[in-house]
Amino acid sequence: MPELPEVETTARGIAPHIVGRRIRQLLLRRQDLRWPIPPELTEQLAGQELLAVERRAKFLRLHVSSGAALVHLGMSGSLRLVDEAEPARLHDHWDLLLVPDGERPARLRYHDPRRFGALLWEPAGSCHALLAHLGPEPFDACFDGAWLRRAAQGRRLAIQALLMDGRVVVGVGNIYAAEALFRAGIRPDRSAGRISASRLQRLSDVVRELLSEAIAMGGTTLRDFVQPGGAPGYFVQTLAVYGRAQGACIRPGCEGVVQRKVIGQRSSYFCPRCQH
DNA sequence: ACGGCCTCCTGACGGC
DNA sequence: TGCCGTCAGGAGGCCG
């Protein structure tokens, strides 16, 4: 579910409420997320000051002095700030309890019906194995047309699948891959190695542009994503092709009809008139 | 090495 | 009403 803009929205939403505060304890209701929550996390976090919130790819790092709690939202995860007294709902798997400061909510609550998300521990000075081989952030200077060209060189797989490969660029999931390819005029099922350097340059530009716009709008809510304060993301109103199979292409004057096609076991959407 | 396929899990929705 | 199939924003792991 959450792609880079939703995770970034989450990071920006929670940071002002939790950074600089002291953690009372980690309250676990279920430990069997995608991976078991490591037992040492409870002791590592208790009593520590929360120093910073950082996003890397689709992970959040909640830093304390001895390391960081890594949070991944999977397909259906979300974090919300709730008041001390707010009763837990079904699928609220853990709470980070903060020392109350009188006005701000004292719980950071993780909700994840499908449990594809994760809560892991990364000791200070190390990099967790899941993050060790990731490619650049889309906003890194090294992510450009030349980088994409190198990644695409000789590859037969669909460009949509390449864009979603975290070793190529992080944070781009199914929605934003489809939307970026629409903006760039590239069919999602085109072989990555058969796309010109100039079109890949355009693609890297639109990926950044698209993600920036989505972040500015608080991300995309399709079913259950909520910003940490509880509001949905509004970028859904801006989606051009995702989820719009059989709908009319939004480009003025285009009479194309949006098609759905399964690429790499995921649904992709495109306008056959605009994308080649 | 590459690319395709399966898997984890719950819930929503459409058709009969 | 209920049952069943299909689909869902991620991504590691396995197999040929």
Indicate yes or no: strand C within 7 A of the C-beta of A166: yes
Q: Are A41 and A26 in contact (CB under 8 A)?
A: yes
Measure the CA–CA gap between A118 and A123, rounded to whole angstroms. 16
Which H helix or E strand runs over A29? none
Sign (positive or negative) of CA dihedral A187, A191, A194, A200: positive
Q: What is the pLDDT of residue A241?
A: 96
Measure the CA–CA gap between A208 and A216, rounded to whole angstroms. 12
Both structure tokens of A227: 């910003």
From A12, A155, A260, A266, active-site residue: A266
3-class state of residue A103 by DSSP: coil
Nearest Cα neighbor of A178 from A224, A240, A232 is: A240
Measure the CA–CA gap between A256 and A247, rounded to whole angstroms. 9
* Per-residue pLDDT reduced to its tens digit, A117-161: 999 999 999 999 999 999 999 999 999 999 999 999 999 999 999
A165 CA, C11 C1': Å apart: 9
pTM score, two decimals? 0.96
Both structure tokens of A157: 């797989």
Indicate yes or no: strand C within 7 A of the C-beta of A157: no
Tell me which residues from 183 to 212 on chain A have a beta carbon below 7 angstroms from nucleic acid strand C: none
Which H helix or E strand runs over A210? helix A197-216
Region A170-176: mean pLDDT is 97
Q: Is A266 a catalytic residue?
A: yes
Provide the CB-side half-sphere exposure for A123 (13 A, CA): 2
Whose CA is nearest the C1' atom of nucleotide B9? A114
Indicate yes or no: strand C within 7 A of the C-beta of A269: no
**Does the structure show a pLDDT above 70 at A1?**
no
Indicate yes or no: strand C within 7 A of the C-beta of A114: yes
- % of residues, chain A, pLDDT over 90: 90
Q: Is A2 a catalytic residue?
A: yes
Q: What is the pLDDT of residue A259?
A: 96
A141 CA, C2 C1': Å apart: 56
* Per-residue pLDDT reduced to its tens digit, A66-96: 999 999 999 999 999 999 999 999 999 999 9
Q: Is A149 a catalytic residue?
A: no
